[in-house]
């Protein structure tokens, strides 16, 4: 598969994985807090317009060994905003992906790491059902990512805020999430695919947030672990994580991955 740089004038030098070692790949999926709204602010002159402030903390800086699969299915050096060409109808900012990848890289020394962004803001879990465009695109991108010699190590999932809109949707969340896990494992041929989901801390209707959270925290499926976002800082919209909260979340996701699925690398 072709590898491109974000700068069309320069071709990056990317080290191949050691012999007999496949490139570890991580799928990033869900809705806006996975796609990233950290640093996205309203234009004071035109309140209906938003833009990303471009602030990239040290923990989220690009590294030659961290790659992303672009919307055109080409590998390139990963950089914020990871989802800009995936969640393209919204203004994307900073999400947890780069913080996660840097933390995993620093612990395990994996070279290179592949990130497959798939998240789209404002989406309910029913839109991620098998046969729906979002699900099919996620599976397509995941399959494409391993063609050059890679291995999908985990799916990182942060979604559920849209399913707080009604009690009916919130009550149905657990069953739909269990079906999603079953389907994606079957369609990727990975029956034990590790899945790290984030328990939401915000939503559309506050009355239903705890219903979705309980479904996420109580999910009893093998090789599925949950990271709780409760306590992380929200922006003024009370819906999206701040830049610093996304940095923290990425590190929490990395620790969950390392301690549960790479136990020999669970401590510094």
Q: Helix (H) and strand (E) counts for the chain?
A: 6, 10
**Cβ atoms within 10 Å, residue 49:** 10
- Residues with catalytic function: 32, 237, 240
Backbone angles phi, psi at 40, to 5 degrees: -85, 120
Spell out the residues 6+ positions from residue 163 whose beta carbon is closer than 8 angstroms to its own: 124, 125, 169, 170, 172, 173, 203, 208, 212
Query: Which candidate, 24, 15, 20, places its Cα nearest to that of 265?
Result: 24
The CB-side HSE value for 233 (13 A sphere, CA atoms) comes to: 11
Q: Give me the helices (H) in the chain, please.
A: 32-35, 97-108, 133-145, 167-188, 206-217, 243-261
**The tokens 């079957």 sit on which residue?**
186
């Amino acid at each position: 598969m072709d590898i491109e740089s974000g700068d069309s004038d320069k071709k990056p030098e990317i080290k191949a994985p050691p012999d007999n070692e496949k490139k570890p790949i991580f799928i990033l999926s869900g809705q806006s807090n996975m796609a990233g709204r950290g640093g996205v602010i309203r234009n004071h002159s035109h309140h209906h317009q938003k833009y990303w402030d471009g602030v990239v903390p040290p923990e989220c800086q690009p590294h030659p060994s961290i790659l992303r699969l672009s919307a055109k299915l080409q590998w390139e050096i990963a950089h914020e905003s990871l989802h800009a060409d995936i969640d393209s109808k919204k203004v994307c900012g900073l999400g947890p992906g780069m913080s996660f990848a840097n933390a995993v890289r620093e612990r395990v020394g994996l070279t290179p790491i592949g990130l497959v962004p798939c998240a789209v803001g404002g989406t309910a879990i029913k839109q991620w059902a098998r046969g729906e465009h979002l699900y099919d695109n996620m599976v397509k991108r995941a399959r494409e990512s391993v063609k050059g010699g890679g291995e999908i190590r985990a799916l990182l999932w942060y979604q559920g805020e849209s399913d707080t809109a009604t009690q009916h949707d919130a009550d149905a969340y657990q069953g739909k999430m269990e079906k999603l896990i079953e389907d994606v494992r079957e369609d990727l041929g990975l029956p034990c695919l590790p899945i790290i989901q984030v328990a939401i801390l915000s939503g559309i209707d506050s009355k239903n947030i705890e219903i979705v959270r309980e479904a996420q925290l109580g999910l009893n499926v093998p090789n599925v672990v949950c990271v709780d976002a409760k306590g992380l800082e929200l922006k003024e919209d009370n819906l999206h994580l701040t830049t610093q909260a996304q940095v923290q979340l990425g590190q929490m996701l990395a620790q969950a991955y390392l301690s549960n699925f790479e136990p020999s690398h669970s401590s510094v």
